[in-house]
Chain A
């Protein structure tokens, strides 16, 4: 079974620009979560989608947004990029509790560098 895939793997953007990251979950998984990982803050939860609905959101500004499509693929968008947005952005997919498990499986991440 194919794992979680994320595109692109690397991205360099300039302050003030916006960026869209994509995530394809494991086949059959309907829950997709996004996390930001930085050396200083570690892994922090951004938001989670299940069946195209955002169920939970972390403590991040409104510049961070996301969406999920009917095929469970998800995108996250960051507008008006700041230098502090440089991070590894990780997507994780899960069956959700309806599948009897909360286990989340992570993709390889997108490394975003803001200059």
Chain B
């Protein structure tokens, strides 16, 4: 059965304090791994798609990497506006996303 586990469940950082979020997965034939950001009461906002081990993508202060068993979302010098829940999802089919429970990030000034 496909599984996605995200850690930590919650993370509190000081502004400027870099860190990484982890997403470990087991899936029968990975078609893609996705990172989303979700603010309270809103739909998830697409961040990155990674398709193969070794792939990396960057956007502003965020960088996502992928290995055969896990993905990391690195946050460099975060700001309070980066506070949100970060969701990881995988798909073996391309149609249905299987989500982890998310990491709730709080960045304090």
Report the Cα distance A81→B43, complex, angstroms. Answer: 23
Q: Is the CB of B42 within 8 A of A105?
A: no
Report the Cα distance A33→B43, complex, angstroms. Answer: 13
Q: Is the CB of A55 within 8 A of B95?
A: yes
Q: Which residues of chain A are within 8 angstroms of B44 by Cβ–Cβ distance?
A: 43, 90, 106
Among B37-79, those with CB < 8 Å from A are 41-46, 49
Q: Which residues of chain B are within 8 angstroms of A16 by Cβ–Cβ distance?
A: none
* Choice from A31, A43, A48, A108 contacting B87 with Cβ under 8 Å: A43
Tally chain B residues at the interface, Cβ within 8 Å: 24
Among A28-47, those with CB < 8 Å from B are 31, 33, 35, 42-45
A58 in the interface, Cβ–Cβ < 8 Å? yes
Given A102-B49, A102-B91, A42 and B99 touching (CB < 8 A)?
yes
Report the Cα distance A23→B34, complex, angstroms. Answer: 22
B109 in the interface, Cβ–Cβ < 8 Å? no
A-B contact count (CB 8 A): 59
A25 in the interface, Cβ–Cβ < 8 Å? no
Main SS class of interface, A: strand
Instruction: Find the B residue at minimum CB distance from A42.
Output: B101
Instruction: Find the A residue at minimum CB distance from B45.
Output: A106
A70 in the interface, Cβ–Cβ < 8 Å? no
Q: Which residues of chain B are within 8 angstroms of A103 by Cβ–Cβ distance?
A: 34, 46, 49
Q: Is the CB of B96 within 8 A of A33?
A: yes
Q: Is the CB of B43 within 8 A of A90?
A: yes
Q: Is the CB of B99 within 8 A of A102?
A: no
Q: Is the CB of B95 within 8 A of A48?
A: yes
Among A42-101, those with CB < 8 Å from B are 42-45, 48, 50, 55-56, 58, 90, 92, 96-97, 101
Nearest 5 Cβ contacts at the A-B interface: A106-B43, A43-B99, A45-B96, A56-B95, A48-B95
Interface residues of A (CB under 8 A from B): 4, 31, 33, 35, 42-45, 48, 50, 55-56, 58, 90, 92, 96-97, 101-109, 111
